[in-house]
Amino acid sequence: MDKVKTSATVAGEAPRRHGAMELTVAVLGLGGIGAVAAGYLQATGRNRIIACARQPLERIVIEQSHEELAVRIQAITDPKDAGPVDWVLLATKAHQTPSAAPWLAGLCHRSTRVAVLQNGVGQVERTAPWVGEATVVPAVVSYSGERVGADRVVLRQPATFDLAVQADPDGRAFSDLFAGTALRIFISDNLSALAWRKLLINSVANPITALTLQRLGVFRRDDVRALAETMLEEAVAVARADGVRVTEDDISQILGTLRDIPADMTTSMHLDRLAGRALELDALNGAIVAAGERLGIAVPLNRALLTLLRAAQSEEAIVPRPDNTGHPDDGPSPGGAPAAFAPAGPLTERNRQTAPAGTV
């Protein structure tokens, strides 16, 4: 049976288990998701936490409702300074994983576990080529971390859990890392279904907002919801052919969420396109198209939107951007799904802060 580990305690109050050894945990990618994870892990005081960041960082401040948690953090900015660790939390964008190879090479050894805090399905297959003999631990993220400053992140927890992992020894070891923090860990017997449900909502919300350059209010339109419904039907057919338990009820729930979500919210892909950054295509609609090809399922609408996004990105790439620095994605980055929606509007200084940073 699936279990949710919840904690109402303040980060840092959970005592160390008798005889437990201190672990070294590296958080690679200090965007919204990585910053929240690193901050809460540091606050427990149980383990040594290393932030692998683009810029020097002395502290992380997490805002949640009317509370604030500030912790000092050890950060390194050069992969040459990275040594083997017990855990890596990989919190870059999915398409940035290959560029994180120098970091992963230094951090991973045969006893390392690499928890993948990224969008998409097939996390093990996507990550394994870059981590040597380390063990890949897939995870599903449902909290939203919005970077609003160099060292400040706003946490939102709209779902009943914040991180989900498989019900196996590696998943339970991951859950133990967060014991006593504000992040709720869901230990699931069917993680692949959770990953697919998250992919479903991302596969319509992200491309439609990115292509129309509109906020999520665009889903108030009946014709846009009809388009999204057909796209979701394609994706559900692929998921079922892949042995994943998803139904028409999932489609109805997603369409209801998109209809009712505040109209002034938007997606990370929308902000990425506004900022001229690389789009997370292969892990979202690209994953649906690839799975459809493998399983013999036609997905014409998902393929069409993927083609249009690639064309838009190719045209925009003609203009060089200054933020493609080749470092971990530690810039402002909204994350999570369906709560991976950041405040929208023109690319003001505030929204530049919430837009994801350059590629790794």
**Which tokens go with 126?**
């996507």
Q: Which residues of 88-125 are buried (b: 16+ CB within 10 A; e: fewer)?
A: bbbbbbbbbbebbeebbebbbeeebbbbbbbbbbbbee
State the DSSP string of 222-263: HHHHHHHHHHHHHHHHHHHHTT----HHHHHHHHHHHHHS-T
Cβ proximity of 5 and 179 under 8 Å: yes
Choice among 3, 5, 93, 198 that is catalytic: 198
State the DSSP string of 85-128: -SEEEE-S-GGGTGGGHHHHHHH--TT-EEEE--SSS-HHHHHG
Q: Is the peptide bond before 102 cis (omega within 30 degrees of 0)?
A: no
Cβ proximity of 42 and 49 under 8 Å: yes
Looking at residue 180, the DSSP 8-state letter turns out to be T
**Which tokens go with 167?**
């019900």
Is 198 in the active site?
yes
Catalytic residue numbers, as ranges: 198
